[in-house]
């Protein structure tokens, strides 16, 4: 911690916010200060996060009390081209993909359409308080380019992937392996590492059922050649699992399809992970892959319920995904609420402080940016929200109750990335 006396003598900070401070801590636990202070320098780095009294800071402060100052939310799994189809109740999964998702994603070859939806997506992420997001685009390279541009312009942090698929889909969504590789290489050159790593490219084979063995193998090669994140779906639905084993008869399990393709590693994000066996979890732990828990989506499509204990007991990193449009909201507050319900339903309740961790620091761990973001701590980049609560919070439990569950108003007042105000 910076000592109070040192702060008192420094020139004014770029951002000095006084409000109720709530943040998970990288080392474990949660910090709550009913009268807190957050100081951010001109580079967007946090110089102080703690009680107002005791900081000894004499510069001007922006007093936002009794609003909450909390880390920006991190959504580790969502689909850009599904922004306009939230709530299409045509599930389960494979029917929903065929009837609602594929017809909509087919529209994204039109640049004007992709551009209009990208603008809507950005507005919805900002309103929800998401500051970092891992997105699937469609299989259209131009739509993916549009998605990157929209995030770049909005100041958001994230991963975006061109969605690879060469089977079991309408012709207009099919992309061949050579085209997918070439388009991805162009997108990598243009966007991967943009603005000091604010944006990154993720290799994104949709799921095993929509990719040939060759396509998956090349996806693994590309990820390993450039040290890229990988995102895909796994074991979401029973019928999907059976069809996957028929489509990839050489594999010993769903997970093994990805393993044989070289797609499992510490930068891999596996969405859903509901119907996995013990030995699959062991292998995920061994490979240091990560999991996107998408409880609201799992409820909406009736996919099943993921337990948090198998990854937890193996030290597997877990973040929370909205999975729009199978998830019904971009709000990670809604996702936390669904994660709570899901945990109760499987008989392994989860504490509200753990839900906040999943939606912030846990997501940063999954996306490989936990040294930079995910908590409000000295030396980290200032990705934060100012959230109005239904009731002013006098203690930690009250703050968590309001933030996570009392969500008639889901909007945030402001959000910042690296100390720059986005909203």
Q: Which residues bind ligand GUN (CB under 6 A)?
A: 79, 93, 97, 101, 206-207, 233, 236, 297, 323, 326
CB closer to ligand GUN out of 233 and 267: 233
Least distance CB 382 / Fe ion (angstroms): 30
Nearest 5 degrees, angle CA 140-CA 143-CA 147?
A: 135
Which entry of ligand GUN, Fe ion, none binds 369, CB below 5 to 8 A by partner kind?
none
Least distance CB 209 / ligand GUN (angstroms): 7
Least distance CB 193 / ligand GUN (angstroms): 26
The answer to whether 289 touches 265, Cβ cutoff 8 Å, is: yes
Residue 6 CB neighbour total at 10 angstroms: 12
CB closer to ligand GUN out of 273 and 358: 273
Tell me the C-alpha distance between 363 and 73, whole Å: 8
CA distances, 254 to each of 134, 135, 245, 282 (Å): 22, 22, 7, 14
Which entry of ligand GUN, Fe ion, none binds 381, CB below 5 to 8 A by partner kind?
none
Tell me the C-alpha distance between 30 and 11, whole Å: 29
Tell me the C-alpha distance between 281 and 343, whole Å: 18
Near Fe ion by CB under 5 A, which window of 191-199, 275-283, 322-330, 402-410?
Answer: 322-330
Least distance CB 233 / Fe ion (angstroms): 6
Nearest 5 degrees, angle CA 252-CA 258-CA 264?
A: 120
CB closer to ligand GUN out of 72 and 81: 81
323 near Fe ion (CB under 5 A): yes
Near Fe ion by CB under 5 A, which window of 62-70, 216-224, 242-250, 319-327?
Answer: 319-327
75 near Fe ion (CB under 5 A): no
105 near Fe ion (CB under 5 A): no
CB closer to ligand GUN out of 297 and 331: 297
Q: Which pair of structure tokens corresponds to residue 70?
A: 């909390």
Residue 363 DSSP symbol: H
CB closer to ligand GUN out of 100 and 372: 100
Which residues on neighbouring strands pair with residue 420, listed in sequence order?
417
Which entry of Fe ion, ligand GUN, none binds 236, CB below 5 to 8 A by partner kind?
ligand GUN
CA distances, 159 to each of 80, 116, 148, 259, 392 (Å): 11, 20, 9, 22, 35
CB closer to ligand GUN out of 235 and 376: 235
Which of 27, 58, 374, 74 shows the shortest CA–CA distance to 37?
Answer: 58
- Classified as helix, coil or strand, 376 is coil
Which entry of ligand GUN, Fe ion, none binds 207, CB below 5 to 8 A by partner kind?
ligand GUN
Phi-psi region of 368 (alpha: psi -120 to 50; beta: other; left: phi over 0): left
CB closer to ligand GUN out of 67 and 204: 204
Q: Which pair of structure tokens corresponds to residue 207?
A: 């799921």
Which entry of ligand GUN, Fe ion, none binds 55, CB below 5 to 8 A by partner kind?
none
Near Fe ion by CB under 5 A, which window of 19-27, 45-53, 151-159, 315-323?
Answer: 315-323
């Amino acid at each position: 911690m910076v000592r109070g006396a040192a702060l008192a003598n420094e020139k004014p900070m770029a951002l000095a916010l006084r409000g109720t401070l709530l943040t998970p801590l990288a080392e474990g636990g949660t910090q709550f200060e009913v009268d807190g202070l957050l100081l951010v320098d001109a580079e967007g780095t946090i110089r102080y996060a703690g009680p107002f009294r005791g900081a000894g800071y004499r510069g001007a402060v922006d007093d936002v009390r009794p609003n909450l100052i909390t880390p920006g939310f991190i959504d580790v799994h969502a689909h850009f081209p599904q922004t306009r189809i939230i709530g299409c109740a045509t599930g389960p999964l494979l029917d929903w993909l065929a009837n609602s998702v594929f017809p909509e994603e087919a529209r994204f070859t039109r640049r004007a359409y992709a551009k209009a939806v990208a603008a809507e997506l950005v507005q919805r992420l900002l309103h929800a308080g998401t500051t970092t997001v891992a997105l699937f685009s469609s299989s259209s390279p131009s739509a993916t380019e549009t998605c990157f541009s929209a995030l770049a312009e909005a100041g958001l942090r994230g991963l975006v992937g061109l969605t690879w698929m060469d089977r079991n889909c309408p012709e207009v969504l099919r992309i061949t392996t050579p085209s997918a590789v070439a388009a991805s290489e162009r997108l990598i050159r243009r966007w991967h590492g943009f603005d000091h790593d604010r944006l990154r490219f993720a290799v994104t084979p949709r799921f095993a059922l929509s990719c040939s063995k060759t396509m998956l193998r090349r996806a693994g090669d590309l990820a390993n050649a450039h040290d890229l994140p990988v995102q895909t779906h796994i074991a979401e639905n029973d019928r999907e699992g059976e069809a996957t084993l028929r489509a990839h008869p050489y594999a010993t399990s769903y997970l093994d399809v990805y393993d044989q393709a070289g797609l499992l590693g510490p930068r891999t994000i596996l969405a859903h992970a509901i119907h996995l066996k013990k030995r699959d979890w062991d292998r995920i732990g061994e490979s240091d892959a990560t999991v996107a828990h998408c409880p609201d989506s799992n409820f909406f499509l009736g996919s099943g319920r993921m337990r948090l204990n198998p990854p937890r007991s193996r030290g597997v990193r877990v973040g929370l995904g909205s999975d729009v449009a199978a998830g019904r909201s971009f709000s990670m507050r809604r996702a936390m609420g669904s994660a709570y319900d899901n945990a109760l339903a499987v008989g392994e309740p989860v504490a509200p402080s753990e839900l906040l961790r999943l939606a912030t620091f846990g997501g940063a761990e999954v996306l490989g940016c936990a040294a930079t973001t995910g908590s409000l701590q000295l030396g980290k980049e200032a990705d934060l929200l100012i959230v109005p609560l239904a009731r002013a919070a006098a203690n930690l439990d009250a703050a968590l109750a309001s933030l996570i569950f009392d969500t008639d108003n889901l909007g945030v007042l402001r959000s910042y990335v690296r100390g720059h105000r986005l909203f």
